[in-house]
Structure 1
Amino acid sequence: MDDYPLLNVFWTMLWFFLWIMWLFLLFKVITDIFRDHDMNGWAKAGWLIFCILLPYLGVLVYVIARGKGMSARDVKQAKASEAAFQDYIRKTAGTQGAGGGSSTDELARLVELKEKGAITPEEYEKAKAKVLA
């Protein structure tokens, strides 16, 4: 342990952490290159070759040149994923969109009307039978 002082351990950990951060950034840049639909194939190939042959410089230049577009594409993808997730939830829960509701929603509305006294128990039973049919 005397051969490797504490300061050297700190520097090793720092460089390792920075290397891992750079790897994450490299993969994010490569993903963004392929995700950008506005860029043609030759531009994608050029950026990819630049990032592979001169990795540190390529990633740095890409982030400087196209960083704003990267974040816009991230936001667009996040919104699309959220919309797809919400659509999946709506389909799974059985709601039919803005106009109609699920049978669960309809039953909850009927219970509410019955508790307020807006409909009689007989009307409630008829409406419930119609919803469940």
Structure 2
Amino acid sequence: MAGNINLAFDYPLLGVFWTIFFFGLAVLWFMLLFRVVADIFRDHDLDGWGKTGWLLFVILLPFLGVFVYVVVRGRQMSARETAHAQARQRAFDSYVRTTAGTGSSRTGSSQVEQLARLTEMHDKGAISDQEFQDAKTKVLH
């Protein structure tokens, strides 16, 4: 064997701790970086040049750029995130109301009502089996 072989017990426990710690910090750093970049693009108050300036600052000097952005625009950043979440919730609620109560389901409920009336008429004997099948086919298509 012509070289050093590193075994698991050659890497001390404190070294494992520091490796995991710095890996966690790196993950948090990239999450913050991506959130800042997303906020730059989401901000409607900044014009194109402002967005370009902040984006270049964050890309060219990432640590300083992100920290300055968070200090200068951090409070507005959380307000924009809250407004964006509320807009998504309103859009979802509107979609649920449209899908559940009105719109395309209205024709579905009228079909259900028509089929219920046809079934009631068939049960009372007002229409024959053949008339019931023909009317049901007409309602469903």
TM over 0.5: yes
Instruction: Tell me the alpha carbon deviations over residues 78-127 of structure 1, each in whole angstroms, 9 at most, x when there is no partner.
Output: 1100000000000110248xxxxxx6xxxxxxxxxxxxxxxxxxxxxxxx
Give the aligned residue type for 1:46: G
Equivalent in 79, 87, 91 of residue 84 of structure 1? 91
State whether structure 2 residue 35 is matched by structure 1 residue 25. no
Cα separation, 1, equivalents of 2:67 and 2:75: 13
Q: Following superposition, which runs of at least 4 residues in structure 1 exceed 6 angstroms of deviation?
A: none
Tell me the percent identity.
Answer: 59
Equivalent in 23, 36, 42 of residue 16 of structure 1? 23
Q: How many residues align?
A: 101
Shift of 1:4: 1.2
Cα separation, 2, equivalents of 1:40 and 1:92: 37
Tell me which structure has the larger Cα radius of gyration.
2
Cα separation, 2, equivalents of 1:21 and 1:52: 17
Q: Which residue of 1 aligns with 2:13?
A: 6
Equivalent in 67, 70, 73 of residue 60 of structure 1? 67
Shift of 1:3: 2.2
Give the aligned residue type for 2:69: Y
Give the aligned residue type for 1:88: Y
Instruction: Tell me the alpha carbon deviations over residues 45-69 of structure 1, each in whole angstroms, 9 at most, x when there is no partner.
Output: 1110110011111111100100011
* Structure 2 gaps, min length 5: 1-7, 104-108, 110-141
Cα separation, 1, equivalents of 2:81 and 2:55: 19
Cα separation, 2, equivalents of 1:57 and 1:12: 24
Q: Which residue of 1 aligns with 2:58?
A: 51
The secondary structure found in structure 2 opposite 1:92 is: helix
State whether structure 2 residue 82 is matched by structure 1 residue 75. yes
- TM-score normalised to the size of structure 2? 0.66
